[in-house]
Amino acid sequence: MADLNIPNFNVKSDKYIFKKRLKLRRKSKKRLITESLFLFILSVLLVYINYLIPNKNLLFQNLPSTLNKSFLLLIDLFSYLYEMFLVIFIFVSSFTSIILIIGSFNRLFRVSRRKSKQILYK
């Protein structure tokens, strides 16, 4: 009875999943004009901000050396991260080994102090 598959007719086909969400209406002229004005104002603002940046030519000339220095710093960062993770691993493994050694000595001590000579096997 568990193998019986009953079709579900309430599930819509995946082919038409986004059909109702699409807006098929055209934009009005007023909306198109406002959007174009907004885009124009934004572009003028970006051009003005670029105009305010001093020494643009010098920045473009120094770009390759700056990228090279940043790449070297990134390599140094990864080497330092490797060393830091190695030190953290050493601390964690040392702490874990100390806990395991203490636990093993504790278990040996408890077994040696057991009053009953008979060992129960289950």
Give the tens place of pLDDT for each residue, 83-120: 999 999 999 999 999 999 999 999 988 888 876 656 66
Q: Are residues 49 and 73 in the same domain?
A: no
Residue 42 domain boundaries = 25-54
> Would 17 be classed as within a structural domain?
no
Residue 67 lies in a domain: yes
Quote the pLDDT of residue 49.
Answer: 95
Start-end of H helices in the chain: 29-52, 56-61, 63-112
The residues, any chain, with a CB within 8 Å of residue 27's CB and separated by 6 or more, are: 35
Q: What is the number of structural domains in the chain?
A: 2
Shared domain check, 102 and 67: yes
Give pTM, 2 decimals.
Answer: 0.44
- Tally the residues of the chain: 122
Query: Is residue 1 predicted with pLDDT exceeding 60?
Result: no
Q: How many whole angstroms separate alpha carbon 8 and alpha carbon 93?
A: 56
Examine residue 6 and state whether it is found in any structural domain, yes or no.
no
Give the dihedral of Cα atoms 71, 76, 77, 81; nearest 10 deg: 140
pLDDT at residue 53 in the model: 92
68 and 36 in one domain?
A: no
Same domain, 68 and 102: yes
The answer to the question of residue 43 being in a domain is yes
Tokens of 15: 């082919």
Q: Is position 13 within any domain? A: no
How many other C-beta atoms can be found within 10 angstroms of the C-beta atom of residue 110? Answer: 9
C-alpha to C-alpha distances, 16 to 8, 9, 19, 21, 23, nearest whole angstrom = 17, 15, 5, 10, 14
| Same domain membership, residue 84 and residue 101 | yes
Whether residue 15 has pLDDT greater than 80: no
In terms of domains, do 37 and 70 share one? no
